[in-house]
Structure formats: structure tokens, C-alpha cells
Chains A and B, each alone.
Chain A
Amino acid sequence: MTTHGPPIPLRDPRVVDVLVLFQATLVAVSAVEATVIGAATGFGVASPAILSVVLAVVLLVIARRSSKRMVRGIQWFLLTSAAVDLVLAVALGRTLLDPVALMTRIALPVSILRLSPKRAAS
């Protein structure tokens, strides 16, 4: 027997914490990759490595402290960057972003934005 049950809410600060921690991990990997490339090129282009490290640390701190003051701003920054890449992919590559990129760069920040409170408590 089945009934129409209510939707199961995921809007829980701890879910946001999980997603932010996961995102921090991915940014940390980007930081390592950017640092390796930077080292190989004599750090002629060091800004991506520096920005990645800073962003990864900030996200890790946010994930721990439940302070969501910056969460939404960072998500919008990452989404804007993904949107630029999506436009480039469509315009130049005649394709969308790869499935994994759609998952990590679009679905993940959108989920965090949807699940995190618009007005931060702290």
C-alpha cells in the first residue's frame, strides 16, 4: 500500500555543512593542481594557486563553524565563473560542460544556495 507522503526536507544546516566541506575538498584539489602547474611554470601565473588555497581554507572554516555569512557570496562567485565557462563552452565548443563539471560547478553550488538560509544567523 502506498500513500502520498510529504516531501522529505533536506533544509538542515548540517546538510549545508556537508556540501560545503565537500566543496572545500574539491577546491583544495584545484589548489594542489594549480600549485603544481604554477611550480612547473616558475609561478609566472601564481594567482589561481593563491586564490584556490584561500578559497579552500575559507570553505573549510565555514564548514566547521556553521557561519554562513560568506557561503552564499562564495557560491555566487563560483556559479558566475561556471556560467562564464558554460557560455564559452556553448559558443566556442558547441557543447555543454562535462557531466562532472555540471555536478560540481552547477549542481553543488545551486544546492548549497537552496539549502542555506538567506539571512545568516552569525
Chain B
Amino acid sequence: MSYVGSPMYEVTAEHAAALLSIPVVLGLLTFARRSQRPWATAYRGLPAVRRLLVSLVAIDATMHLFLGPTHGGRLGLALFSFGVVGWVLARRLILGSTRSAGTIVWALSGLAAYAVAAVSGRTTVDQVGTASKLLELAALASVLVRVQRVRFALGSAGLVATAVMVAAASWAGAMEAGGHGHELGEVPAPGVLLPQSEDRDPTPAEVAAAARFHRTVAAAIAPYQSLAAAAEAGFAVENLAGSAWHADNPVHKADGRIFDPEAPETLVYAEGPDGPVLVGAMFQMDGLRNPGPAIGGPLTVWHAHDHVCLSLVPLGLAGLTGPFGSCPPGTITIPLTNEMIHVWTVPGAPEPFGDLDETWLEMYLSSAAG
């Protein structure tokens, strides 16, 4: 079973050329160790931190030189220009004719431009883009060490704020690029994996089968609007909170029954003004990479999750792997889950399967109050 995931965790085709910068710069650095050219001699004589800074700027600048042609247009020109300016900066850093301000301006402009491009959808947030921004953040860090205490405190705060801004923009860009549903052919949001397939119209038989299954599920789980009934049936309905609380049933998870409308593995509740509201159910497959039965064809698309951060103490969801590649310390990363599908039984739900529109749900909950 092959899946399509969020580009945030992949190298997109339009950015792949930038990877060529790594052998190019490594070759240049090797050359610099041996050459007697003035710039190479000057490079060898630099303090270690300055050499590190030159290397960071050179790699990032070269990445942008490669990214320019693959993007084309004004964005491509801007990327290429940024690379050229980066190389000018690297040369001045080697020759000692520039101070920290040049690095700060260059790196901050690259980071800010990326944040704007990511949020506006002008660039795809992926591994190459993120790696480039990490190089710029590291370059900023290199001008902060061993500075006076107050400057260090202010600079570190600025560095962290800049990194948070870039991460937030990356999240926003990746979420915006991701589809809002779980439909075939969509670019998934971070953490969602969809089967690799083209979207198509459902057949009449698939429409009928999906509707029949939906009606059966709605009738089967209706009694569980009562939390007492749900608890008696084995669902973990203690401490319900939030707009999509998943109450698991350990017995149903282990019973080997697949997509049985009478025995969903999970119930989904939303916290309303008057208490929890049953909004649907979730069915799960056993084992990894086992495709769920798509009885409704493109209407019933199963999905899996990747890059899930799991806290072990206490056990619980702690988010998704961030753009910078990490889950919070103290958690483990689940690379792949089994497949699952949601069935929304709350009256008037825009989509009976897949993803439930949160704005609609909020409106529903507020209108149902009282």
C-alpha cells in the first residue's frame, strides 16, 4: 500500500535540484584546504566560528542559485539574486571586509521572505526549504556567541522569535496547501496519509452502499449519545474534552471485526455548551498498510497518519513532527498508523465520511445549545 503525505516531510521535485549544492560546496571546501589562491589561504586563516559561518552561507547561497532556475519568473529571479548576494557575503566574510550586520540582514531577509512565501502559498513548504532556513538560523546563531551579555540575551530572544515565526509560517503554509478533506488526489495536510490514487466519480452502486452503511452506523451508535450507555458498552468516555474527542473501545479494537457498523472501534464526541455531543464514529483496520474496504469508492476514502508525536508519560497525543524535524523531547515519533475512516452521524453534517468541517461543527453546537 503506498500513500501520499504532506510535502512538508518530503523533498518536492521543484526543490530537488538544490540538493546539488551539497557536493558543490563540499568540493569547494576540499579545494580550499589545498589551494594556494588568496581566498583559500584567507579562508584557512579564519577563526573556526567564521569558517563555520562562511560554510553555512555558501551552502545556503548555492542552494538558492539552484532554486532560481527551477522556480522561474520573479520568484526564481529573487531566489537566484539571494544566492548571488549570499556568495558576495561569503567572499566578504572570508576577506574580513564585513561585520555581523551583513550576515544578520542577509539571513533575516531570507527567513522573512520565506515566511511570507510559505503563508501566501508561493512556495511549497518541504524539506529543502526548511533545511535552507535552518542554515540561515544557524548563521544567525554564529554571530551571537561571545557577545556582551545583554546583547546575547536580546539576540537569543530574537533568534528564538525568528525561528518560531518561520516554524509557524511553515505550519500555516503546509496546512493551507493540504486538503481540508480526506479525498483522493488531494495534497494531504501534515500528519495525514491518503492512498495514492486519482479521484473519480462514484458509481450509483457505491453511492447506495455508502448511504446504506451510513444509515446503519447512525442507528447503531445513536444510543451512545448517552455517556452511560457508551461507558457500559466499553467506550472510554471519561474526561471528554475538545471538539473531536475520540473515545476508544478496547474490546472492539481487538475483536477482529472490520468496518462493522455495530462495533465501531471509536466514538467521536464534541464538547457542546450543554455537554458532550455524539458526532460520529471512527473505524480502524488491524495492522499497518492494510487498506480499508472502500465500499463507497471515492466517497469512503480511508486514511492513515504519519509523524505522530506520542507522549509516553502520560500516554497521549503530543502533536506532529514539526517543520524542523522534531517531536517535543520526551516523546516518540510514530511513523505510520493503521488505516481509519470517520463516519459523521451528527444531523446535517456536510460530509458523511472523511473530515468534518470545524466551522460547521461550531455553528451546529452553538445552534443546538439550550
> Is the pair B242, A42 in contact by a Cβ cutoff of 8 Å?
yes
> Is the pair B329, A81 in contact by a Cβ cutoff of 8 Å?
yes
Chain B residues, Cβ within 8 Å of A40: 242
Quick check: is A64 within 8 A (CB to CB) of the other chain? Answer: yes
Chain B residues, Cβ within 8 Å of A36: 319
- List the A residue with the shortest CB-CB distance to B130: A100
How many A residues have CB within 8 A of the partner chain? 67
> Is the pair B335, A95 in contact by a Cβ cutoff of 8 Å?
yes
> Is the pair A18, B131 in contact by a Cβ cutoff of 8 Å?
no
Q: A28-B160, A92-B334 are in contact. Are A48 and B288 (CB under 8 A)?
A: no
> Is the pair A101, B321 in contact by a Cβ cutoff of 8 Å?
yes
CB-contacts of A1-24 with B (<8 A): 1-12, 14-15, 17-19, 21-22, 24
Q: A2-B35, A101-B321 are in contact. Are A12 and B48 (CB under 8 A)?
A: yes
> Is the pair A51, B328 in contact by a Cβ cutoff of 8 Å?
yes
Q: A25-B159, A44-B241, A92-B334 are in contact. Are A101 and B325 (CB under 8 A)?
A: yes
Quick check: is A88 within 8 A (CB to CB) of the other chain? Answer: yes
Q: In the assembled complex, how far is the CB of residue B231 from the closest CB belonging to chain A, in whole angstroms?
A: 19
Quick check: is B258 within 8 A (CB to CB) of the other chain? Answer: no
Chain B interface size band reads: 35 or more
Chain B residues, Cβ within 8 Å of A22: 137-138, 141
Segment from B60-68, B85-93, B144-152 that makes contact with A: B144-152
> Is the pair A14, B306 in contact by a Cβ cutoff of 8 Å?
no
Chain B residues, Cβ within 8 Å of A48: 309, 311, 318-319, 327-331
> Is the pair A98, B9 in contact by a Cβ cutoff of 8 Å?
yes
Partner of A18, one of B9, B142, B149, B336: B142
Partner of A33, one of B130, B131, B319: B319
Quick check: is B178 within 8 A (CB to CB) of the other chain? Answer: no
Quick check: is A110 within 8 A (CB to CB) of the other chain? Answer: no
CB-contacts of B11-59 with A (<8 A): 11, 31, 33-36, 44, 47-49, 51-52
Distance, CA A8 to CA B41, complexed state (A): 11
> Is the pair A45, B36 in contact by a Cβ cutoff of 8 Å?
no
Q: A37-B318, A49-B328, A81-B329 are in contact. Are A92 and B130 (CB under 8 A)?
A: no
Q: In the assembled complex, how far is the CB of residue B114 from the closest CB belonging to chain A, in whole angstroms?
A: 14
> Is the pair A14, B328 in contact by a Cβ cutoff of 8 Å?
no
Chain A residues, Cβ within 8 Å of B49: 12, 14-15, 18
Mask of A79-122 contacts with B, CB within 8 angstroms, 1/0 = 00100110011001101011111111100000000000000000
Partner of B167, one of A2, A33, A88, A97: A33
Q: A10-B52, A45-B314 are in contact. Are A25 and B330 (CB under 8 A)?
A: no
Q: In the assembled complex, how far is the CB of residue B93 from the closest CB belonging to chain A, in whole angstroms?
A: 14
Quick check: is B347 within 8 A (CB to CB) of the other chain? Answer: no
Distance, CA A7 to CA B282, complexed state (A): 59
Most chain B CB within 10 A, of A8, A33, A81, is at A33
Quick check: is B181 within 8 A (CB to CB) of the other chain? Answer: no
- Give 13 A-B contacts (CB < 8 Å), ordered by A residue: A5-B33, A6-B33, A8-B51, A10-B48, A12-B47, A14-B48, A40-B242, A48-B328, A63-B156, A81-B330, A84-B332, A88-B332, A99-B11
Query: Interface of A with B (CB < 8 Å)?
Result: 1-12, 14-15, 17-19, 21-22, 24-34, 36-38, 40-42, 44-45, 47-49, 51-52, 55-56, 60, 63-64, 77-78, 81, 84-85, 88-89, 92-93, 95, 97-105
Beyond the given pairs A48-B311, A99-B11, 5 more chain A to chain B contacts, judged by CB atoms under 8 angstroms and listed by A's residue number, are A7-B33, A18-B138, A52-B330, A92-B334, A103-B325
